[in-house]
């Protein structure tokens, strides 16, 4: 019985939390600024990195050294080579 009550309150808490987050309505650029300004260690996974420059919203943040680790996936060999050259070192 206590499991059901605890589960019920966790569901309510998650709904309230999600509505609070969406109410702030972060725009993509504002979210990235907020995320990268946070001093905590960050882990980034980008799927479909393309060439790393064209239409890449993370490029301005990944150009600078910071407290993050990034994994960028790109299945197309041509773009993979470009990414590898871009982020070498």
Full 3-state SS string of the chain: CHHHHHHHHHHHHHHHHHHHHHHHCCCHHHHHHHHHHCCCCEEEEEECCCCCCCCCCCHHHHCCCCCEEEEEECCCHHHHHHHHHHCCC
Span 53-82, pLDDT tens digits: 888 888 998 888 888 999 999 999 999 999
2-37 per-position pLDDT tens digit: 778 888 888 887 777 666 555 556 677 888 888 888
Supply the pLDDT for residue 22. 55
pLDDT at residue number 43: 92
Give the whole-angstrom CA distance, residue 57 versus residue 18: 24
Q: Is the pLDDT of residue 87 over 70?
A: yes
Q: Which residue has the tokens 């939390």?
A: 17
Mean pLDDT of the chain: 83
């Amino acid at each position: 019985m206590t499991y059901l009550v605890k589960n019920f309150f966790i569901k309510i808490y998650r709904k309230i939390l999600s509505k609070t987050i969406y109410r702030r309505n972060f725009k993509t650029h504002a979210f990235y600024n907020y995320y990268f300004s946070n001093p905590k260690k960050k882990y980034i996974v980008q799927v479909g990195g393309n060439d790393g420059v064209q239409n890449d919203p993370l490029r301005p943040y990944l150009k600078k050294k910071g407290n993050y680790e990034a994994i960028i996936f790109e299945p197309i060999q041509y773009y993979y080579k470009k990414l590898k050259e871009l982020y070498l070192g």
